[in-house]
Structure 1
Amino acid sequence: MAIFISACNAVKRVPDGKNLLVKNNILVNGKSTNDENASNQMYQKPNGTLLGYKLRLNLYNLANLNPDSTYQARFKNHPGRYENWSKVLSAKQVDRLGQSFLYKGIHDFLKNTGEPPVIIDTSKTKKTLLRLKFYYFNNGYFNVKTDYTIDSIAPKKARINYNILTGPGYTLDSIRTTILTPALDSLYKTNPEPSVLKSGKQYKTSDFEEEKNRITTYFRNHGAYFFQPTYVTFDIDTIGKKNKADINLKIGNNNIQERDSSRTEPFKLYKISDVNIYTDYSAANAKSKITDSTTYKNFNLYSYKKLKYKPRAITDAIFINKGSTYSDTRTTLSSRYLNNLKIFNYPSIQYEVDKRDSTAQSLVANVYLTPRKKYSFGATLDVTHSNIQDFGIGASVSETIRNVFNRAETLEISARVNVGSSKDMANPNNNFFNVSEYGIDTKLNFPRILMPFGTEKIIPKRMIPSTSIAAGFSKQRNIGLDKENFTGALSYNWSPKRLNTAKLEVLNAQFVRNLNPDNYFNVYTSSYDELNGIANVYNTTPSNVDSNGNLIISSGTTGFTDDVLSGQTALTPADQQYKDVESIEERRVRLTENDFILASSYTFTKTTKKDLADNNFYQFKAKIESAGTLLSLISNVANLPQNVNGNYEIFNLEYSEYIKTEFDYIKHWDFGKEKVLAVRSFFGIAIPFGNSDYIPFSRSYYSGGSNDNRAWQPYSLGPGSTDALDDFNEANMKIALSAELRFKVFGDVKGAVFADAGNIWNVLDNVTDDKATFNNVNDLAEIALGTGFGLRYDLSFFVVRLDLGFKTYNPAHEKGDRWFKEYNFGHSVLNFGINYPF
């Protein structure tokens, strides 16, 4: 604190006669404005602040700007000091000491991290004034007048006032067109998209640029190959008009440059006369001879070596057809689809005028494809930390095989292994690496819809459809109950629109086999402690407990539970302890049973996010999933027998049956100056029916964690107001709401304040605990609230994130005692994450 206070003299490095810029004040017709676009015209802006404090400026002021001179001065002022130091260290070491972090490095760090004072420069002020004049002129204020004043507000501190007198704004009056090429004139009149320029609208230069782009896009999508935005000009006439302007939109003829001369002629609308596809093009073979070729549905395919692709695999990805009108959109769509095949580098599509056409109104489309390597090998090594593993080392290898069946298919095979350490897992041998997992996954992707019938009318190829077939196996050892997991899936993917995606998972099969169910109470210690506490009072069978009176796992826990539920103890169904034992046993059975899930789902995603830099967008995702319905239908039709529980089985295993739906909505608002407000809402519910009265653990919901409610650890919130009694708390309904304000701190360091709300509940399943179930809207009072702040460091390709969450409203406490009960650092949760949470 003393160091920072000593640096708080913000004008410490401001020369005499100069002023530190503390504020830019834009006054439009005498009133201050917060127009961000106007503020962006500034050549000089005040030093940045963090919560009102000029942190970077003061860091800079802490630095010694000439540490080398200061170090040398230590010896010039004391001639004998250098010799004395040299006796202890050596002359070379003394010289190097002046370059050390202690004497120089720390000052370089402060200078580089800090920010020098922004000193008012009147030449830059005048440049800013000129830019402001152009800015308001381009927004229709043709008679704008500008000047500036500098107000001293403290010693060596000043504010610049930019005074803008706009005068009246000009509006558009009559709008007419002069288009010399008849074909373009006809196209202009048939364009269904309305003009950006409208009579009565205030003049804006940006509208004219937008109108140029609108016209150019339409023309180039309807054959005008040589048309460019520069051919669109505007005559703006304000003579004799009072604050109004007549507009004449002019489009001249095509200007053709021929050596030392040029000529003009009307624009032509071109059609495609040929589509040539070079399937193995490279710079090295560009001048080689074609050795293999074929023609398929008016496409000409050429290869410098033997043709390795079935023609349809490539032609299905090309939307440029012989005889069609030239279109930029078709070119772009073809490039996207070809790139999506993942067997070529990004394609090159070039056009040339067909010399065979005497009217010179035909184009030859040449598509150059450079194949990627048929085989690609990859390997990764990861060090991990999670709520299950305190420390883990993972390795994976993968092999990608392209064009497997010569129709642009890709096959991906990957294997992974992980070993780790967990203090929470049962570890009788006290080994450091006490958990392990390995697995293998395969995925075969087809760039089309695989169906026994045509789907072009339902899902046309412009939607870039694909089919994916996946299978996988994994095995865990000493992780919970130890599991084998078998998965398989068949799914279809397509993009109905440019920024929309759809996925139909026809089949998603999962078989989870628990290898060590007797280990349950060693893992779920909270359940054991609760059961053991009841047994200390009500156990009547000596063989159930050890010499210390604790239940033996698993013979004792099973024996005591059986005694209670069969009426062999003093407990009756009316007792709360009986209900607790019943609940513990229900959860144990649910989590130790093997699961078979055969599900189908449909997922739709819509977003307005144009690119990674877009911070003003929304994203909506909806999913509906149904499991077991097909198996139950077959079982009913076939009149298959039911087991003693009244349920159907497959492979001697009760399969899961449920319906599940999820809705996820994300919205970002960009307030400029790197301030972004992001909100997220999520609702999900899975309802068991028919063959099931609960949801499998792998399909249930949990709350808490770095991408959820950041004031709670993963699996440690809910269900309802139960105070997270179990080690891994899950349920079948979830509500989550989050809001986060992001802002720049300095450089690549960003900050955020956030609020996360939500919880999980059991609903319409076999859980009877009233605290854990959602019965009516009054249970919305059990939505937990966490608030906090975070720091993020932007590494361009990803963001490293630290968030500190505080329990603001905890529904696990009694009503009236839920607000700020644990609002302190002792109960806070520090989250580490990669990239933003939403």
Structure 2
Amino acid sequence: MKNISTKIATFIVIGIIISACDAEKRVPKGKQLLTKNEIVVNDKSTTSEDITNQLYQKPNSTFLGYHLRLNLFNLAKPNPDSAFQAKFTNNPKKYERMSKWLSAKQVDRLGQSFWYHGLHNFLKETGEPPVIVDTARTQKSIARVKYYYFNKGFFDVKAAYKLDSLSEKKAKIKYTITTGNPFLIDTVSTSIQTPVLDSLYQTKISNSFIKTGKLYNTEDFTNEKERISTHLRNNGVYNFQPNYVTFDLDTLNHNKKVNVNLIIKDYSYQDKDTTRTEPFKMYKISDVNIYTDYSATNNSAVFADSTTYNNFNLYSHSKLKYKPKAITDAVFITKGSLFADFRTVLTTRYLNNLKIFNYPTILYEVDKRDTTAQSLIAKVYLSPRKKYSLQTTLDVTHSNIQDIGIAGSISETIRNVFNGAETLELSARGNIGSSKDLANPQSKFFNVSEYGIDAKLNFPRIWFPFATEKIIPKSMIPSTLVSVGLSNQKNIGLDKQNVTGMLAYNWNPKKNNTARFDIFNVQYVRNLNPENYYNVYESSYNELNNLAKTYNYTEHVDIDGNLLIEEGTDGFTDQVLTKAITVSDTDYETVSSIDERKTRLTEDDFILSTSYSFSKTTKSDLKDNTFYQFRTKIESAGSVLSLISNAANLPKNANGNYEIFNLEYSEYIKTEFDYIKYWDFSKEKVLAVRSFFGIAIPYGNSKNIPFSRSYFAGGSNDNRAWESYRLGPGSTGATNDYNEANMKIALSAEFRFKILGSVKGAIFADAGNIWNVLDNITDKRATFDGIQDLKELALGTGFGLRYDLNFFVVRFDLGFKTFNPANEMGKRWFYDYDFAHSVFNFGINYPF
């Protein structure tokens, strides 16, 4: 019965596809469907996006060569309302029958139901109507193509088209373009009436977009106008605008060359009914007035408080609530300096970055006290945000650790805490979740919990005992972050308490560059329930238990002969390591490795680190899909404590290590490199690639890296063919419950494309793995011993869907294990490459 139902469903789907495959179904009689635009430029066929984008008519879109949206449109009834009414017009008795078990009103409303009306509207909106050949639009395309080439310097371009009928209702259009030879820039001269402008222009003439010997391009002339305007307005010429720059072009020499005369006339302005002209002036700032509590309602009110600080005038309608230096440090417009647009922009950015004001407004007016009319008063209007603001969040999450999690937080932001534009944020967070993978003897549904409190204090400057202006000038918008936090976890791993503290400096060395220097970042991790280790890390327990049965260990076991936790597991381990029980060398190494991992994951950690991070991006806005992003970080932990311990000649413990608060601190050096590159192929086709390398090397006081600072592989933002923590290390096959190591390589490529409206598709390939290197792990399968181990890079491939909600993207990915280094030779490529062994990933926004 099941097979018959499947066949019927298949035949129905095939029937729908066949019925919709008539691409000419909605083409009116006497009209033709445009199937192709063929473009020939100088006797060579081209598919250049720059040229095809000039055409007003393009064939219907395709998905994998199939006119999906056109055929969806063809499935819809053109007039579903009329079709519904026609059912009863032609058969009135049918209407009477339906009205007996449905009221007449319900029958009429049935025509507006999804099946009769909504479905067809959906198909129309999702689909795409047939593109009908329109010769008027084709003529407009010809004109637009000629204009495009004309702006590229091909003044003699010729273009024509030919309509080629393929059938009664199908046609293609062939565009033939002959560009001729392009025109070149010959001589460039200037006619600048105001002498001071001429002098300024000459100082940056080498940056001009218009140069002798260069191909003529209209875009260069537009860019030159903007360049000149920016240069002049950054050097005091307040009244200048790009439209004051004009060009006189001479192409009458018949040698395919253009003589250019750049013209800038004097400043013109309206004086009553008369237009007057005068030379441009260079303006200086005579006063900088800062209004610290401006609003539309108090605009005309009398100021109750004012002060002057470092030639800045500050005004307030109530008592001034800010230390003057905190505000003036953010203002780059200074008394006596030339007017400059870049100072206005920098001031706006800095003030906005303080996060205590709404977006600022900066205006200029001519100072009437100056009889030469060459002075400006800068007016900075600041609208304070509320001193206190409360925020709450609630999230439902899913991960490989939690089947379901409910997380919430509440935070209170206090602005201008010490009257120096500081911001204090106090927050509390909590999470409860359910996980079937963790030890849960009481079978509680919500067996995972975490709560924590945090405090963050931000200073809008470098908080340091000595002046740092020469090292990090205020134009780099520096800030200082001080934070402390406390969290408590239950039934995640071993139950942990986590105490953190940090002092960090942030600044922007250049536009789109960010830097961060953590003077110190301290973390104390205390395991509250270490005896639960073997309940949580079941794979380690199973491996140890099997060895105990192999060697007939009968002490501290249950009635089934399984090791009791902790008596049996610790007892068997101790007897093997002290050689009270004789085992093979391989089994001894296994037990030793299990014990070392248990010790590392159950011991408390104290980490005191210093780090420097730098990132750079060329991304201009959210819609930019041609950019690169680079991030690097170097971190050193424990070195300062070791220097102090050595200098103070402090004693070492039995393990030969130093301690702080009776706890061995971690010592390591760690570095990371992350590079992302995007290519935009237009029509919403984007190729994105990512490469990542990270390594953490223990030394001195440590033989391994703390779990919280190690690397893992797999997951929705990593190698999507493996779940988180389920890939590696090396070729071990993820034998532990949570697999991590201290070196990682990750490479990813993803091609994204549009399917239907906001629904996007992607195909991807993820490669990578983790390894142990230069630590106390001796398993050859897990360690990286040389370049030959790169053959253990795992490869996952797959496809996914994305739904773009504008403010974020919902993502679904399906990954397949294409190359699995954990498998034996001969079974690594495309083994278990099927849906049964695939991994489904859900994520928010793109993976990189």
Please state which band the TM-score falls in when normalised by the shorter chain.
over 0.9
Name the residue aligned to 1:558. 570
Compute the RMSD of aligned alpha carbons. Answer: 1.0
Identity of aligned residues (%): 68
CA distance in 2, matches of 1:103, 1:555: 71
CA distance in 2, matches of 1:816, 1:271: 78
CA distance in 2, matches of 1:122, 1:663: 55
Name the residue aligned to 1:815. 825
Describe the superposition over 1:585-634 as per-residue Cα deviations: whole angstroms up to 9, x where unpaired: 11111111111100000001111111111111111111000000001111
CA distance in 1, matches of 2:766, 2:633: 23
**Which AA in structure 2 matches 1:492?**
Y
Secondary structure of 1:83's counterpart equals helix
CA distance in 2, matches of 1:152, 1:548: 84
Secondary structure of 1:11's counterpart equals coil
Indicate yes or no: 2:592 matched with 1:582. Answer: yes
CA drift of 1:805 comes to: 1.0
Q: Given the alignment, which residue of 750, 768, 785 partners 2:760?
A: 750
Name the residue aligned to 1:733. 743
Name the residue aligned to 2:3. none
Indicate yes or no: 2:733 matched with 1:723. Answer: yes
Indicate yes or no: 2:819 matched with 1:806. Answer: no
Taking the TM superposition and a 5 Å limit, the aligned residue runs for 1:479-628 are 479-540=492-553, 542-572=554-584, 574=585, 576-628=586-638
CA drift of 1:192 comes to: 6.3
Name the residue aligned to 1:362. 375
CA distance in 2, matches of 1:442, 1:685: 31
Secondary structure of 1:821's counterpart equals coil
Task: Please tell me whether the aligned partners of residues 539 and 560 of structure 1 are also in contact (alpha carbons under 8 angstroms).
Answer: no
CA drift of 1:70 comes to: 1.5
Secondary structure of 2:429's counterpart equals strand
Taking the TM superposition and a 5 Å limit, the aligned residue runs for 1:33-52 are 33-52=46-65
Name the residue aligned to 2:665. 655
Q: Given the alignment, which residue of 696, 707, 715 partners 1:705?
A: 715
Q: Given the alignment, which residue of 689, 693, 696 partners 2:706?
A: 696
Q: Given the alignment, which residue of 369, 385, 390 partners 2:398?
A: 385
Q: Given the alignment, which residue of 172, 175, 187 partners 2:188?
A: 175
Secondary structure of 2:830's counterpart equals strand
CA distance in 1, matches of 2:401, 2:281: 67
Name the residue aligned to 2:284. 271
CA distance in 2, matches of 1:375, 1:39: 55
Name the residue aligned to 1:787. 797
CA distance in 2, matches of 1:304, 1:154: 79
Describe the superposition over 1:420-454 as per-residue Cα deviations: whole angstroms up to 9, x where unpaired: 11111111111111111110111000000011100
Describe the superposition over 1:282-317 as per-residue Cα deviations: whole angstroms up to 9, x where unpaired: 000001011100000000000011100000000000
Name the residue aligned to 2:6. none
Task: Please tell me whether the aligned partners of residues 48 and 746 of structure 1 are also in contact (alpha carbons under 8 angstroms).
Answer: no
Name the residue aligned to 1:25. 38
CA drift of 1:543 comes to: 3.2
Describe the superposition over 1:214-248 as per-residue Cα deviations: whole angstroms up to 9, x where unpaired: 11110010001110110010010011231111000
Deviates more, 1:307-316 or 1:72-81: 72-81
CA drift of 1:328 comes to: 0.5
CA distance in 2, matches of 1:525, 1:23: 62
Deviates more, 1:355-364 or 1:84-93: 84-93
Name the residue aligned to 2:211. 198
CA drift of 1:758 comes to: 0.6
CA distance in 1, matches of 2:236, 2:43: 52
CA distance in 2, matches of 1:350, 1:34: 49
CA drift of 1:193 comes to: 4.9
**Which AA in structure 1 matches 2:779?**
D
Indicate yes or no: 2:155 matched with 1:145. Answer: no
CA distance in 2, matches of 1:752, 1:22: 26
CA distance in 2, matches of 1:751, 1:660: 37
Instruction: Give me the TM-score of the superposition, normalised by structure 2.
Output: 0.97
Q: Given the alignment, which residue of 653, 678, 698 partners 1:643?
A: 653
Instruction: Give me the TM-score of the superposition, normalised by structure 1.
Output: 0.99
Secondary structure of 2:544's counterpart equals helix
CA distance in 2, matches of 1:619, 1:240: 48
CA drift of 1:155 comes to: 4.2
**Which AA in structure 2 matches 1:27?**
V
CA drift of 1:662 comes to: 0.3
Indicate yes or no: 2:642 matched with 1:629. Answer: no
Name the residue aligned to 1:342. 355
**Which AA in structure 2 matches 1:238?**
T
Q: Given the alignment, which residue of 67, 70, 74 partners 1:54?
A: 67
**Which AA in structure 1 matches 2:703?**
D
Structure 1 residues 192 and 296: alpha-carbon distance in aligned structure 2, compared to 1, 3 A threshold: farther
Name the residue aligned to 2:124. 111
Describe the superposition over 1:742-773 as per-residue Cα deviations: whole angstroms up to 9, x where unpaired: 11222112111111111000000010100000
**Which AA in structure 1 matches 2:280?**
F
Name the residue aligned to 2:5. none
CA distance in 2, matches of 1:177, 1:152: 54
CA distance in 2, matches of 1:626, 1:240: 69
Name the residue aligned to 1:829. 839
Task: Please tell me whether the aligned partners of residues 688 and 764 of structure 1 are also in contact (alpha carbons under 8 angstroms).
Answer: yes
Taking the TM superposition and a 5 Å limit, the aligned residue runs for 1:214-293 are 214-293=227-306
CA distance in 2, matches of 1:311, 1:167: 66
CA distance in 1, matches of 2:167, 2:601: 70
**Which AA in structure 2 matches 1:720?**
G
CA drift of 1:713 comes to: 0.6
CA distance in 2, matches of 1:316, 1:438: 39
CA drift of 1:539 comes to: 3.9
